[in-house]
Structure 1
């Protein structure tokens, strides 16, 4: 997805059973109203000092909590085994190297293991890649680079200039932050270019126009960043110029989320349009064409839309709203439409062709293109298939289905622009990942690589149920468990959720969940709540802003349904989620603590009255609303976990973790949550990785430690006898 991926990178892995009616016990009323109460203003928040990321007092607090929590969890006799297993999995070389097509048909890959902790960028031929032991050549070793330069470099991607892809822009992050340093690299010599492009650390990015020209969006100094902390200005930077000499070609508004530039190229790498994306909010944007004379022209596209691909001269767009085109045509939310690009640029009233109109229980989870075809991952009831679309002479789009396994998760990977080959990944909760190389021209697909099982799934099954939410909407969820599981409420169960930003939770193979939880008798549940994208844009939009509580109720309904089916019970049910999912966990904790006996709250949002003032938070107003507007503040205040923590509630001991280097979701959210819980007299475990960024792991060792801590905690809460507590 061309525009979605660019903006997301700036901002931002059985038959349906008839469901038993879930209980509909209302959430307990808060013990007190939060209006005028705790942390409803700066003056009433005693823990603002914990928002000072590297403040001396704050870091002393972090060190104290780390020492205590690590002492508890690493002191558990299960920790060492879980840590060893997690480390073996994350450092295993027995993984499928994610392939990326180059213009010459060779394959690139970024790889991390015990030897390459920070990772290595490497390349091989397609024939070699298909063998059991490919012969890799190193392009850039990031461990060696970090050591040579004395830096804590984390690789954040490369953008290479078509068509020969020799010159690349490498993004390097200090410790995993979203902010990156960008440096020009020569693939042919495998060295950084002496005197080449270098952009100092900033949030933002750069895109090639030609060998001597970049479109740059970054921090150019005071007044050049939005309120969300992302670039507001796009400049054209010529080789040899300083950043101060770059020409401004577009300026957004301080209230925008972000502004960025990119090129729309054909399969031969020829630029067909140079475009500016102005993200007005997280979901609405404008696309402007940069003209030859340096002026810009706004293109007539829906505010909620994404440019997905350019194939055979056809620009493919997804609309996330009902829309009347300049041609007078009516399109619906979720439609995929296409125009002949050059005709449309010349005349916006050029009719569009409808490519796909998903049904209510379908969702498009990925769109890519080969040289001649459009390749789409289309899901029905959270099960995926891959279809190939191609325009015919009359402009209509015919489709065929790739020959792939059914009832699985499919992912469209790298596609060749020299021919019609495309990599497709296939996996399920109990099905180790397989990689297929498909020919979109013939619909044939062959297994290139497949993984052995990483845990013993003998006797395990996957079931899909539905829970009835408070407003009657049926919410699907998956349950992974041993087939002989007793239905007596005794099963330790981990319920995972996210529920935001149109991100779908699709069935996937997790070796760590399998080894550290399922194999040990745990049950794993994934809730496909509203706010996600499992059924397209409408499923997401149903839980936006004033309707956010619907997503919380969906998650709670799944917890109730699990207990109604006697799959588990309160002493055996724990929940887990990160980032927006951390907010989910906070809402469960404050609204329905009677349903759970544990919660893993990862890099969370928690203080929703201040989220928009911290780091990238302002960019999320379109998702949650604006706390500075009284009407919107009122609905946010109803569920904001930080303000709704109360004394004398049945809160279980929770495990909260975050990262000091997270420059997306401020670590202050997690710190303040822990401090408030302790003030109210509740036990809490808190761990802050002092490296790592929003992914909470700058290297594989830290990832393994985090996993071991989480599953040690869950074992203590859900597997031990309640009488032992």
Structure 2
């Protein structure tokens, strides 16, 4: 179980709802945009009067009229051509295709999948058997039909996931969001009868969640009323709630401080290893984990707050983000340590070092099967999977996972770690459609499914290059290009980046970019800039706070390296990024406008003076700093909204966001658009009314948003 349930739950909002193993291009990061609702109070250091402050009123009729007017202009400019309509149709066909791989989760005896297509735009939660799943066209049993539920309840529910009570798996806690926002409700569902439980557990709409303790008891962390949420808008209080009692009478388990980020609790229900934990997340990369005894007392897991802590069966694993010295030994940042949990709680500090990073290799993730610890590694941003087997007395046997490709991206996840050593393994690269295999560790993989090609890859080549940043650091990046292109600097090129929150982006089959960009003859580039996690914690920490500029220098260095290689030139180079990547785009617009012919800036952070007062912003101060302190001296150097200058020449820009985004406030994009528009800049704007932080609540909306971006870029760069 994770030491940070808020990260697991937030990740579920973006990734856990995935209906397929179709990579449609880089997605926004959950950790960089975790749920929030309330705002941190302003201090006396508030900036001078902002003439566009009124646009922060998300649902204000005047602001929405402003949005609709600009949406109409963008639609008229970009979406009125037959080329756009064909592209939108092609992208929608990819998203709706039955040929996608349905990702499944084993729950009891069945394998569950959430699926959206043209006939079921909101989606169905469905199940099958492994025998059926092995077939090319499995028979599925519908468990929850979200479109039917929306019609019956006159709602616009978006799926947020299911938490089912093991080992019987008879009851589930289902999370549903209105319009794709992070705020959601939790409802109890009878998995055997496929019906909602009348009078069952119900959590009203808010940020937070429910976690099973037993059939008649849950942990609840949510909005209990005034003062119960943190300044970041997360739950501040977690309670134990008994069936049949009002939520108001639930027993307090733990209260955090208002300035904390997120408080939660959960029970590890693994048979034989049932334990209760309380998680206090103070900030990103700063959390405390407590073991809750049967008497209700909490005992802190005594390790540094920066450590990523996980407990599975008898083992505790510690992923270090900073060096840790114990007595006469120092463990390196980026290392993974393991120890028997009960022995640790009894005082032992005799850790096994399961992984140590080097200059080229970092730990991307780790997961347990019944008998093995499986490590996903990145070696210069290319995947390897290492299997570690505990032998007792501190010994571990290691081997590479059989069947993993030498180049590309491999991801693995346990099928049922309580029962077996099976793994789901997906393999992919930029030009090879994703394949799914079932792996029984130690045996040859069984290939179950493979996606068809959604774009013509013949004649394309993918390669990795390294640019040299301003401080001499080598920055890896991937290029996907025509094999025989003219190296004359005239090819339209799309440069994508993120660079934040220790998130890594690797080579994956980008079906949407393939059809929307590569198939037209363009070049696609993925920059692995600092701030991300491609080389572990050090890569992330190199661009924190006062060093944020290094991420932007890295991205600019990649652009300049593309020019030096004659791949493209400034008038033919476009850039795209969202969320923290939207902040990256804002800095490219304002600090490096000469490098780009067009920019797409999606669900962005842009006003870094007010970001900590808007929605989830206060939770990101560990990444950017606190603008209400002396930190503003460096934050203002990467606040795009404040870097705009009258008379400066900026590249054409498309801003996109969502009214229902309750992570990154749509006011960022609105205000930047209004300010640049008043300056006479070449800007356009599109705000989806639904969609949450991902920008779209269904396939039609996603196809439309992506087609807008690709069409705009092609118009400006060709």
State the TM-score, normalizing by the size of structure 2.
0.93
Determine the structure 2 residue equivalent to 1:476. Answer: 476
Say which of 105, 115, 133 aligns to 1:100.
105
Give 4+ residue runs of structure 1 displaced > 6 Å after superposition: none
Offset, 1:6: 4.0
- C-alpha contact 1:42 1:48 (8 A) present in aligned 2: no
Instruction: Report the Cα distance in structure 1 between the residues aligned to 2:8 and 2:556, rounded to whole angstroms.
Output: 28
The answer (yes or no) to whether the contact 2:265–2:277 under 8 Å persists in 1 is yes
Deviation, structure 1 residue 593: 0.3
2:414–2:421 CA contact under 8 A, matched in 1: no
Q: How many Å separate the matches in 2 of 1:8 and 1:419?
A: 23
Q: Distance between the aligned counterparts of 1:152 and 1:363, measured in 2?
A: 42
2:124 equivalent to 1:123: no
Q: Deviations over 1:76-108 (max 9, x none)?
A: 34211111111111111110000212233x311
By how many angstroms is 1:138 displaced? 1.0
Matched, 1:114 2:115: no
Which residue, 256, 278, 281 being the options, matches 2:280? Answer: 278
Displacement of 1:677 in angstroms is 0.4
TM-superposed deviation, 1:413: 2.8
Q: What are the Cα deviations for residues 274-299 of structure 1, in whole angstroms up to 9, with x where unaligned?
A: 11111111111011111211221211
Shift of 1:186: 1.0
The alpha carbon displacement at 1:7 in A equals: 2.0
Question: Partners in 1 of 2:531 and 2:405 — Cα distance?
Answer: 28
The residue aligned with 1:303 is 305
- Measure how far apart 1:5 and its partner are: 6.2
Q: CA deviation at 1:65?
A: 0.5
Q: Distance in 2 between matches of 1:349 and 1:331?
A: 16
Distance in 2 (CA, whole Å) between partners of 1:4 and 1:555 is 31
Equivalent residues of 1:411, 1:426 under 8 A apart: yes
Match of 1:63 in 2: 68
Instruction: Give secondary structure in 2 for the equivalent of 1:133.
Output: coil
- Report if aligned partners of 1:87, 1:701 keep a CA contact under 8 Å in 2: yes
- Give the Å deviation of 1:245: 0.5
Aligned to 1:244: 248
Q: Could you say which residue in structure 2 is the equivalent of 1:20?
A: none
Structure 2 unaligned regions, length at least 5: 16-44
The match for 1:516 is 516
Question: Partner of 1:170 in structure 2?
Answer: 174
Alpha-carbon distance between aligned partners in 2 of 1:536 and 1:589, rounded to the nearest angstrom? 28
Paired with 2:9 and 2:532, the residues of 1 have a C-alpha distance of 18
- Asked if the contact 2:6–2:262 (Cα under 8 Å) also holds between the matched residues in 1, the reply is no
Corresponding residue of 1:232: 236
Contact 1:625 1:636 (8 Å CA) reproduced: yes
Task: Tell me how far apart the structure 2 counterparts of residues 537 and 272 of structure 1 sit (CA, whole Å).
Answer: 32
Contact conserved, 1:334 with 1:358, CA < 8 A, in 2? yes
**Alignment partners' CA distance in 2, 1:537 and 1:195:** 46
Per-residue CA deviations over 1:284-338 (Å, capped at 9, x if unaligned) read 1011111211221211022112234515x1122212111134x765322111111
Report the CA distance between 1:697 and its aligned residue: 0.4
Alignment match, 1:533? 533
Are 1:435 and 2:440 counterparts? no
TM-superposed CA distance for 1:261, in Å, is 0.9
1:261 aligned onto 2:262: no
What residue in structure 1 maps to residue 209 of structure 2? 205
Judged with a 3 Å threshold, the aligned counterparts in structure 2 of structure 1 residues 249 and 328 are, in CA distance, closer, same or farther, namely: farther
Contact kept? 1:99, 1:414, Cα under 8 Å: no
Partners of 2:107 and 2:164 within 8 A in 1: no
Partner in structure 2 of residue 463 of structure 1: 463
Contact 1:402/1:438, CA 8 A, preserved across alignment: no
Give the Å deviation of 1:350.
3.7
> How far apart are the structure 2 equivalents of 1:133 and 1:140?
20
Cα contact 2:106–2:416 (8 A) shared by 1: yes
Distance 1:246 1:96 in 2: 42
Distance in 2, Cα, partners of 1:650 & 1:9: 42
Spell out the pairing of 1:469-508 with structure 2 (5 A cutoff): 469-508=469-508
Question: In the TM superposition, what are the counterparts of 1:684-703 in structure 2 within 5 Å?
Answer: 684-703=683-702
CA displacement 1:16-38 (0-9 Å, x = unmatched): xxxxxxxxxxxxxxxxxxxxxxx
- 1:380-412 deviation digits (Å, cap 9, x = unpaired): 111112221121022322112111211110111
Instruction: Tell me the distance in 2 between the aligned counterparts of 1:148 and 1:370.
Output: 41
Give per-residue Cα distances to partners, 1:514-533, cap 9 Å, x unaligned: 11110110000000000000
Match status 1:73 vs 2:78:
yes
1:48 aligned onto 2:53: yes
1:118–1:271: structure 2 CA closer, same or farther, 3 Å change rule? Answer: farther
User: Is 1:396 matched up with 2:395?
Assistant: yes
2:339 aligned residue:
339
**Equivalent position of 1:707 in the other structure:** 706
1:157 matched to 2:161? The reply is: yes
| Residue number in structure 1 paired with 2:219 | 215
Alpha-carbon distance in 1 for matches of 2:71, 2:213: 47
5+ residue gaps, structure 1, are 14-39, 720-725
SS across alignment from 1:324:
strand
**Partner secondary structure for residue 297 of structure 1:** strand
- Give the alignment of 1:188-203 within 5 angstroms: 188-203=192-207
The answer as to whether partners of 2:583 and 2:606 remain within 8 angstroms in 1 is yes
| In 2, Cα distance between equivalents of 1:163 and 1:336 | 30
SS of the aligned residue for 1:365 comes to strand
Q: Aligned with 1:648: secondary structure?
A: coil
Distance in 2 (alpha carbons) for counterparts of 1:213 and 1:360? 48
Equivalent-residue separation in structure 2 for 1:227 and 1:629 (angstroms): 16
CA distance in 1, matches of 2:281, 2:488: 51
Is contact 1:329-1:351 (8 Å) kept?
A: no
State the partner residue of 1:28. none
Counterpart contact for 1:355–1:396, Cα < 8 Å: no
> Match of 1:330, SS?
strand
The CA RMSD measured in Å over matched residues stands at: 1.6
